[in-house]
Amino acid sequence: MSRTILTKELDSQLRDTNVELSLKGDTVLDKEGEVNVYQAWCTDPSTFNPIASLFWQTEGGLIRDILDESVMCNFTQMFAFTVCWYIFTITTYGTSVPSGLFLPGMIIGCGLGEMYSKIILNIGLIDDAHYAVYRVIYIILGMAAMLASYTRMTYSLAVIVMETSLAVNIFLPCIITIAVANFTG
């Protein structure tokens, strides 16, 4: 009984106060309203910095942003981002500090898959329509290849990748990618 009275009192207090939410000047919400993109050093208030938006994200948010195209980078920016994450990962891997390896591996793989899709688009192997449809699959396969090359997981990794991507139709390309990555890596 006292719990409901307390809840009613809190509800009435919240209705009485006018709380106004506002954004800081350096954060601009993306079209979906869920993704933060950062303006950083851009002088135009309607633009954002894609590198800052990638580096100032959480690891899970970063993977989501790369897959969702909410932060679009050109090849050079994605290359610099992937190289930085690779350097961060090998540094923490060699220092015996308990830091994660799975999510950094996924991030590096996402960067490699994005760079691969941009390379084959730029040299003319695929057209813009194919890129728009299959870009995410290239990123997911790049992520699977990177994880398979240093974890040496096979079938369980394919299941993990399919569960995280919610795409059962990429099972065979994923298995082939994992097998090649295990063989060469």
**Does 151 fall in a domain?**
yes
**Does 15 fall in a domain?**
no
Q: Which amino acid is at 147?
A: L
Give strand pairing partners of 36. 29
**Does 4 fall in a domain?**
no
Q: Give the CA count within 13 Å in the CB-facing half-sphere of 120.
A: 16
Q: Residue 122 in contact with residue 92, Cβ under 8 Å? A: no
Decide: residue 48, CB within 10 A, 0-12 exposed, 13-18 middle, 19+ buried: buried
Tens digit of pLDDT per residue, the chain (185 long)? 433 443 344 445 444 444 333 334 344 333 444 556 655 666 666 766 777 777 777 788 788 878 877 667 888 988 999 999 999 888 887 787 777 788 888 899 999 999 999 999 999 998 989 888 888 899 999 999 998 988 888 888 888 888 877 878 888 899 999 999 988 86
The model carries a pTM of 0.72
**Does 53 fall in a domain?**
yes
Q: Output DSSP code: residue 71.
A: S
**Does 17 fall in a domain?**
no
Total tally of structural domains belonging to the chain: 1
Instruction: Give the pLDDT confidence of 103-154 residue by residue, as tens digits.
Output: 888 899 999 999 999 999 999 998 989 888 888 899 999 999 998 988 888 8
Q: Output DSSP code: residue 185.
A: -
**Does 125 fall in a domain?**
yes
Q: Output DSSP code: residue 75.
A: H
**Does 176 fall in a domain?**
yes
Q: Can you give the residue range of the structural domain that contains 172?
A: 22-184
List strand residue ranges (DSSP E) for 3-88, in order.
27-29, 36-38
Cα 11 from Cα 101, distance rounded (Å): 44
Sign of CA dihedral 55, 126, 131, 153: negative
